[in-house]
Amino acid sequence: MQPSCHTINYSILIRIVFYVAFLFMANTPGSIIAQNITDLEQQLNNASTPALKFEANLRLAKYWLTIDATKGIPRIQVAIDMASNLNDKKKVVEAALVGGELAERMRKNAEAVRFYTMARDNNVPEQQDITLLTLEKLEQLAVARRDYKMAYTLSKDRSMVLQAQARRISELKMKRQETEMNGLLAAKNREGRILPALLGGFSLLLALWYYFRRRSDRRIRGEMAEKNAMIEEKRRRSEQLLLNILPPAVAAELTVRNKVAARRYEHATVMFIDFVGFTKVAEALKPEELVQELDFCFSQFDAIIGRLRVEKIKTVGDAYICASGLTDRNERPADMIRAAIAVQHFLKENAQKRRDSGKQHFEARIGIHFGPVVAGVVGTKKFAYDIWGDTVNTAARLEEVCEAGRINVGAAAMEMIKSEFDWEYRGKIATKNKAEMDMYYVKIKMKQE
């Protein structure tokens, strides 16, 4: 059975009021507890028991919260130690929450994570509002440091707590309704003297109870469906964070197994795009305009390769790297060549518009090579999908010896699709750390199919 919307909103309202009241007390140095720092320190000196010393240190930490957070951290740590010695988890949670606020004021996210984690781990199951608060804080801190994997895990934990809380409230409400109904029936039985009247009254009450029960169930189902939709939307957004970083198959594997196995792909096509004279153009543009133009160009590249089943790998400075033949069966270089042609068309059109406006513009060299690569995810923080192998290095060398506005392709890729495009043989050309290689320029206009 599921709770009504009014019950859930009331619970959330209580949590918000609790948290606002907590911040208000924490941000009021001259409060009812003490008028100034001298009074607070005097209270600490006069404290005769560990419990009183805990309260005095906690008040001092709250006093320093908005004045000088660096002075509050030592006090709150002493308060936490005292609460631990008293084996009073409630006091540990109260002090740890203040510690988290202090650390956030100091922009020490790692310290804030430690305090909020301590508050969550010491919280009793009955105080789920505190658990939700700490999970929300930890999720915000994980997003701030771009640990999207942890943020996704915390978001799922918070959704599970919300669902458990909703189920518990629903069960309590139903038990209360059943208790009230049983009470009504018992009272009716005690008051009834005549059997027909008793039966009639019982039937009426049963009919009313059934009616209101059905109406309540319908309302609860509708409201819970709405809540579940909201939870599902949050889960979808969390998954979308992963999909913006990793290919779909890799993101799914990481979600299920918490790790990604490296794989070798024998028929991959790698493309390097690098802007020509980037440093010179960058010196002529304001930083904001440079970043805006880079974002515009790379966003157009994203749209082009997305239409042609090509996977973006990464950007390094002004270089853009992508590959095909990885997570799907797109093992022929044709779509990559089409993507490269579309990129050069876009850059030429964009350059003409910027020249007409008297602005600097970008030209690009493109190198494409076909062969085996190894792909996978490395690291545990700020993890990224990447590819390695001689095919990647060769594509980079092909880009380096390419002319601006052209597409330089290795022989392996050309042989796969030579009948689908017009080619210009360049001969054997030496590259850095490589023997001489056969290279081909793609003529921008494709043959009619």
* pLDDT tens string 353-378: 999 988 888 899 999 999 999 988 87
Q: Which segment of 4-18, 21-35, 129-143 scores lowest on mean pLDDT?
A: 21-35
Question: Residues 22, 97: contact at Cβ < 8 Å?
Answer: yes
**Strand, coil or helix: 378:** strand
Q: What is the Cα–Cα distance from 399 to 317, expressed in whole angstroms?
A: 15
CATH architecture of residue range(s) 259-442 = 2-Layer Sandwich (3.30)
Q: Which residue has the tokens 């930083």?
A: 287
Contacts of residue 257, Cβ cutoff 8 Å, sequence gap at least 6: none
Strands (E) in 295-337, as ranges, are: 311-316, 319-324
Convert the pLDDT of each residue in 27-70 to its tens digit. Answer: 544 343 345 888 888 888 888 888 898 888 888 888 888 888 88
The two structure tokens encoding residue 264: 């070798």
Question: Any idea which residue has 């973006």 for tokens?
Answer: 312
Residue reference for tokens 């029936």: 185
The rounded distance, in Å, linking the Cα atoms of 296 and 341 is: 18
pLDDT of residue 241: 65
pLDDT higher than threshold 90 for residue 421: yes
- The CATH homologous superfamily of the domain defined by 1-245: Tetratricopeptide repeat domain (1.25.40.10)
Helices (H), 357-410: 390-400
Pairwise CA distance, residues 137 & 131, whole Å: 10
Domain layout of the chain by residue ranges: 1-245, 259-442
Give the span between the Cα atoms of 224 and 212, in whole angstroms. Answer: 18
Alpha carbons 221 and 215: distance in angstroms, whole number: 10
Decide: helix, strand or coil at residue 309. coil
Of 295, 312, 421, residue with least CA distance to 350:
295
d(CA 225, CA 442): 56
Q: Taking a C-beta distance cutoff of 8 angstroms, is the pair 407, 442 a contact? A: yes
Q: Answer yes or no: are the C-beta atoms of 371 and 389 closer than 8 Å.
A: yes
Could you tell me the two tokens for 137? 């804080």
End-to-end, the C-alpha distance of the chain in Å comes to 62
Tell me the C-alpha distance between 343 and 331, whole Å: 20
3-state DSSP assignment of residue 60: helix
186-225: b (≥16 Cβ within 10 Å) or e: eeeeeeeeeeeeeeebeeeeeeebeeeeeeeeeebeebbe
Using DSSP, state whether 327 is helix, strand or coil: coil
Say whether pLDDT at 327 is over 90: no
Q: Residue 276: what pLDDT?
A: 92
pLDDT in tens, 270-326: 999 999 988 888 888 888 989 999 999 999 999 999 999 899 999 998 899 999 998
Most confident of 37-41, 182-186, 189-193, 301-305: 301-305
Backbone angles phi, psi at 65, to 5 degrees: -55, -45
